[in-house]
Structure 1
Amino acid sequence: MCANVNTADAINNTMAESVPTRVSYLLWFAQEHVNFRAADVESVASIFGIKINYKTQISEYPYCIVDLPSEEEAKLLASRCISVKSILELWGHGKTVEELHENVKKLPETLTSPYFGADKTFRLVVETFCKSISQKEKVERIESFGYLPIEGDVNLKNPDVVYYLLEYFGQDSNNIPEKPYELFFGRRVADGQRALITKLSLKTRHFLGNTSMDAQLSLLMANQAKIVPGSLVYDPFVGSGSLLVSAAQFGGYVCGADLDFLMIHGKTRPVRPNQKVREKGESIKSNMRQYNLSSRYLDVLVADFARPLWRPDVRFDAILTDPPYGVRESTAKVGSWRGADIKPILEKHLPHHIPAKVDYDIQELMRDLLDFSANYLCMGGRLVFWLPICREEYDEEKSLPKHECLKLVSNCEQVLSCHSSRLLLCMEKVEEPLIKEKTPPAQLTSTTKFRDRYFSGRPLNNVDLTE
């Protein structure tokens, strides 16, 4: 994470220099998946071509102050960002209540008066971070802004203008200060897309599997992949299709493949508690129908990723996937331990034949995934995927897969336990491959035998894991 600068000093120095002719904007974040915030905001800004001037860097703090070209750009950011709760036009900021009110009073009337008219209903929201306050205290804070010449009526349900007072009490819930460290006041410009997390929640999803990706992470992946209406999106390890749902939600046309015949056809064992058999019609297609996304669903195939079935001229705008790594789902590909001794299958048995499978080493899988992406992504297209690591042995230089045609854009960590994590890697295609042969498997030190390390609960020190 980037270190945050002293927010109050940075902004107050600017205010002290001259009376502002325009205001900055405050990004107020949800306190979930903190490491994913910067990648989420930057990806959405890239989608819309928005240039962001950061007055404070995105960090573990639940806020970030930025300059944007106009309010329209702020609304565009909010229209896709999952990490952002709200974007405010920042009217005042300070380390103390007195400093906050002093800065609010400095704002020129030309910026504020359009929202104070008698025809504008309003609401003032008081929100605190890391401390709960009583309703009485909230009312006192609201009344402290009595000097604002607001003429309209209060409307708590559907106001024309919403004002926010945000108070930051740090992040140590065991040592909460009596007074906030930072205070912000401003006008709400737009809310982020947090409502989509509830809309696409797995709790109400029709078809689920053991490894269905939760809605929030799926949406974050879709943003990092820069999916826009008309994008062609592919998931080579599709499972129950959670990533396809999020990609289609943002306008992508989606397809996928998986080696698991039973999962693709909705025949696996139910995963919901007390559900004995699957309901009729459970499938990836039924999920698309549930969210009115059927028109963006192309199809899913039963296929072995180790043997690509696509024509050489096929190009995808984005590849989103959560490859199996042997914890909840096995890593397998079509093959036999007997090798060349395997006998051919008679034609009469082919319709009912289920091919034998062998272990698909994670390093070989990652090599194939990067090679496939280099060949089948369009130029500038993005590959977004998960990579498991052992935290004690993680080294960014040695632990991340690399490909000469793919540039690493972002690397976001989700901590799973004290000894393991998974990284969400976003890579962008920057050039076409010169040769079609497979590149050698990368030696990913922190992923070798990840399954053994994960279940052992500790790194396997002093053991040769390369054989």
Structure 2
Amino acid sequence: MITDYLFVFAQKHDEFRVPEVLSVAELYDIKIAFYGIPAELDVSRPFMVLGLESEEDAKKLARKCILIKSVHEFYGRGKTYEDLFAQTQQNGHRWAKYVQETSFKFKVEAYNHSIPQYRQKEVVESFAWMDFLGEINMRNPEITLCVFEECEDPDKHGTTRHKHEGDGSFVEIFFGRLIEEGSARKLVQTFDVKKRTYYGNTSMEAEISLLMANQTLASPGKLVYDPFIGTGSMAYTSAYFGAYVYGSDIDGRQMRGKDKTPGIMRAAAQYGVQQRIIDLCTFDVTRNPWRCGELFDAIVTDPPYGVRAGAKRLGRKNPLTRPSQQYATNRQDDQPYIPPTKPYELSALATDLVLLARHMLKPGGRLVFFLPTVTDEYAELDLQTLLCVGMEVIANSLQDFGSWGRRLITIKKTTSDKFPPPTFDTMPFIAATETSAHIPATETSAHIPATETSAHIPAHKDFREKYFQGFKKGEMTDILHVAGKHSPDVLRS
């Protein structure tokens, strides 16, 4: 039997809410009834009513989802208190059992406004018709009844707003019984980068790292790989959820730090998960040592996209150059050889990452990574340029920074077919009038013609150059010309 539950979310990362709930539900095999299509839900509001089979399922979600503040047994909703009371009366079979002897307390909370204390008392007293006969216990009640008032956001940025402005003008009011506080949110403070033993200027913030770990379905017995592990932010959270983690990076200095014990291992020990870090290796992911595929349950990473640290791969910027004869003859044997590297363009890196994931993931495994995009240029077709046969996008959440944003992409391996290791010899995008060799026709999405996908230039192409140019349209056009794209029509107004 499906019962309705009211979910109250933290007031941040709006687009991450539904993907996280769906991922955790898949992890625990929880069936969720959405009232509307999940992709079309208004995630800008912090309240959501979902149908679940049991109260225990609601508690599991609250204990694992980072963005859930609390979960409540749903009693009613309405644009006015009269509407709320009417629906609550219709759902009397849910709360009537608590009327006689159950100790209780009321909480009245608000979204987008502040409730004056005198009116909080009026709201509580307006529920007197429910005739609760139990003891009022403000410290340790058996049940807590919660009222949530949602007002419109006046969007008065840069102006002073009275703390009670908008009071009494509601978008909607919700009412229910508290089941579970969102205990997972405490982990945001636990993994706070500022409190970490080892971190760098590109370390991912704690809340996002936890969200990414949930997207991978990290849990005991799972094996997770980060091919651009850096200082290990995603490794700690994935390991905390019980997964075993393997990490690699082309630059071992980021993983090691300056102390004798590698920095990642020191930070992992801080969280008590050092035993779940299997190993850390230094190698170029395009020349990896893997001898077979289908090793990992998930791949999670934040690829470098050139804003604070550029992506590199082995090779020379000019393949015709060679080490000088003087260097070859005078080099001391005890000096380590540092191989030359060349830039790794983001669009090529992202495409290669998907191909690597298809080879290395077990069937049903997930690839979770961030993809930066230019806001005005982004189109859904951008993601299709990344995909290959057997890989499907199941979540796409935007963290908006204004003129640009980064998208948390979750791609699932939907095939059990065997594929050869990728060769990583992708070629750069060329003009839309030409035939692109970047994505073979057999590798494009089944839903979009190959010619359309191969001709499309995604918003993350040449992202680094666009970022440092300030995303100015005229300068971005020049960048595209320099890159070999002869038509400025690819820019979106």
Same fold per superposition (TM over 0.5): yes
Question: Is residue 66 of structure 1 aligned with residue 82 of structure 2?
Answer: no
Give the secondary-structure state (helix, strand or coil) at the position aligned to 1:171: coil
- The answer to whether the Cα contact below 8 Å between 2:305 and 2:346 also exists between their aligned partners in 1 is yes
Q: Match of 1:415? A: 400
| Larger CA deviation: 72-81 vs 403-412 | 72-81
Q: Name the CA distance, whole Å, in 2 between partners of 1:206 and 1:146.
A: 53
Q: Name the CA distance, whole Å, in 1 between partners of 2:334 and 2:406.
A: 39
The structure 2 residue matched to 1:286, chosen from 266, 273, 295, is 266
Q: CA deviation at 1:406?
A: 0.9
**Percent identity, aligned pairs only?**
34
Q: Match of 1:260? A: 251
Give the secondary-structure state (helix, strand or coil) at the position aligned to 2:235: helix
- The answer to whether the Cα contact below 8 Å between 1:399 and 1:447 also exists between their aligned partners in 2 is no
- The answer to whether the Cα contact below 8 Å between 2:297 and 2:365 also exists between their aligned partners in 1 is yes
Q: CA deviation at 1:369?
A: 1.0
Q: Match of 1:221? A: 212
- The answer to whether the Cα contact below 8 Å between 1:28 and 1:87 also exists between their aligned partners in 2 is yes
Question: Is residue 184 of structure 1 aligned with residue 174 of structure 2?
Answer: yes
Gaps of 5+ in 2: 157-164, 427-437, 440-453, 485-493
Q: CA deviation at 1:104?
A: 2.3
Q: Indicate how the Cα distance of structure 1 residues 84 and 388 shifts in structure 2: closer, same or farther if over 3 A, else same.
A: same
- The answer to whether the Cα contact below 8 Å between 2:358 and 2:419 also exists between their aligned partners in 1 is no
Q: CA deviation at 1:50?
A: 1.8
Deviations 1:247-294 (A, max 9, x none): 112111112111222211113xxxxxxxxxxx8867111221112222
Q: Indicate how the Cα distance of structure 1 residues 253 and 35 shifts in structure 2: closer, same or farther if over 3 A, else same.
A: same
Q: Name the CA distance, whole Å, in 2 between partners of 1:280 and 1:141.
A: 61
Q: Match of 2:193? A: 202
The structure 2 residue matched to 1:318, chosen from 291, 298, 302, is 298
Deviations 1:362-406 (A, max 9, x none): 222123211211111001000001111112221221455111121
Deviations 1:63-90 (A, max 9, x none): 1112211212212222221222111111
Deviations 1:176-230 (A, max 9, x none): 3632221111101222321211221222122111111111111111111122211
Q: Name the CA distance, whole Å, in 1 between partners of 2:70 and 2:219.
A: 22
Q: Match of 1:308? A: 288
- The answer to whether the Cα contact below 8 Å between 1:449 and 1:465 also exists between their aligned partners in 2 is no
User: How much is the aligned-residue C-alpha RMSD, in angstroms?
Assistant: 2.6
Q: CA deviation at 1:341?
A: 5.2
Q: Indicate how the Cα distance of structure 1 residues 397 and 31 shifts in structure 2: closer, same or farther if over 3 A, else same.
A: same
Q: Name the CA distance, whole Å, in 1 between partners of 2:210 and 2:148.
A: 27
Q: Match of 2:464? A: 451
Gaps of 5+ in 1: 1-20, 268-278
Question: Is residue 464 of structure 1 aligned with residue 446 of structure 2?
Answer: no
Question: Is residue 37 of structure 1 aligned with residue 17 of structure 2?
Answer: yes
Q: Indicate how the Cα distance of structure 1 residues 313 and 114 shifts in structure 2: closer, same or farther if over 3 A, else same.
A: same
* TM-score (ref. length: structure 1): 0.85
Question: Is residue 127 of structure 1 aligned with residue 140 of structure 2?
Answer: no
Q: Name the CA distance, whole Å, in 2 between partners of 1:124 and 1:93.
A: 16
Matched residue type, 1:319: I
* TM-score (ref. length: structure 2): 0.81
Q: Name the CA distance, whole Å, in 1 between partners of 2:231 and 2:166.
A: 43
| Larger CA deviation: 407-416 vs 45-54 | 45-54
| Larger CA deviation: 386-395 vs 138-147 | 138-147
Q: Indicate how the Cα distance of structure 1 residues 40 and 29 shifts in structure 2: closer, same or farther if over 3 A, else same.
A: same
Q: Name the CA distance, whole Å, in 1 between partners of 2:305 and 2:177.
A: 46
Q: Indicate how the Cα distance of structure 1 residues 159 and 149 shifts in structure 2: closer, same or farther if over 3 A, else same.
A: same
Give the secondary-structure state (helix, strand or coil) at the position aligned to 2:214: helix
Q: CA deviation at 1:350?
A: 7.1
- The answer to whether the Cα contact below 8 Å between 1:26 and 1:87 also exists between their aligned partners in 2 is yes
Q: CA deviation at 1:32?
A: 0.4
Q: Match of 2:141? A: 159
Q: CA deviation at 1:433?
A: 4.5
Q: Match of 2:364? A: 380
Matched residue type, 2:125: E
Q: CA deviation at 1:465?
A: 4.7
Deviations 1:111-131 (A, max 9, x none): 32443454x443321110100
Give the secondary-structure state (helix, strand or coil) at the position aligned to 1:112: helix
Give the secondary-structure state (helix, strand or coil) at the position aligned to 2:64: coil
The structure 2 residue matched to 1:55, chosen from 35, 55, 72, is 35
- The answer to whether the Cα contact below 8 Å between 1:236 and 1:258 also exists between their aligned partners in 2 is yes
Q: Name the CA distance, whole Å, in 2 between partners of 1:92 and 1:48.
A: 28
Q: Match of 2:435? A: none
Question: Is residue 85 of structure 1 aligned with residue 69 of structure 2?
Answer: yes
Deviations 1:33-76 (A, max 9, x none): 11111111111111122221122553222111122112122122
Q: Name the CA distance, whole Å, in 1 between partners of 2:374 and 2:236.
A: 30
Give the secondary-structure state (helix, strand or coil) at the position aligned to 1:128: strand
Matched residue type, 1:106: Q
- The answer to whether the Cα contact below 8 Å between 1:218 and 1:246 also exists between their aligned partners in 2 is yes
Give the secondary-structure state (helix, strand or coil) at the position aligned to 1:79: helix
- The answer to whether the Cα contact below 8 Å between 1:448 and 1:465 also exists between their aligned partners in 2 is no
Q: Name the CA distance, whole Å, in 1 between partners of 2:190 and 2:297.
A: 25
Matched residue type, 2:481: D
Q: Name the CA distance, whole Å, in 2 between partners of 1:106 and 1:48.
A: 32
Q: CA deviation at 1:338?
A: 4.8
Deviations 1:119-167 (A, max 9, x none): x443321110100112222222122223334344444444332211011
Q: Name the CA distance, whole Å, in 2 between partners of 1:179 and 1:287.
A: 49
Q: Match of 1:390? A: 374
Give the secondary-structure state (helix, strand or coil) at the position aligned to 2:461: coil
Deviations 1:289-323 (A, max 9, x none): 11222232212112211211122146100000000
Q: Match of 2:311? A: 331
Give the secondary-structure state (helix, strand or coil) at the position aligned to 2:268: helix
Q: Match of 1:366? A: 350
